Amino acid sequence: MYGLYDKNGILRFVNSDKGACLDYAELFEMHSTNYCLMDLVENMDKENDFNLDPNLVENNN
């Protein structure tokens, strides 16, 4: 599961497909400097809560 965040850190789109998140960004003309992706499934802890540690965000530059 991937989350697409805008440059203000607001979650804009969630999908199980990374490509769908990138397509969403392209559709709304969001350039790679204006968003970041986070793999939400990989960052889940034992209690199935999301770990939204900003250090785990993928840099798209």
Dump pLDDT digits (tens) for 9-58: 999 999 999 999 999 999 999 999 999 999 987 655 545 554 455 555 55
Q: Assess whether pLDDT exceeds 90 at residue 4.
A: yes
Task: Using the predicted structure, report yes or no on whether residue 6 has a pLDDT greater than 50.
Answer: yes
Report pTM: 0.63
CB 22 within 8 A of CB 28: no
Per-residue model confidence (pLDDT) at position 40: 86
Give dist(CA 10, CA 54) in Å, integer.
Answer: 12
pLDDT at 46: 46
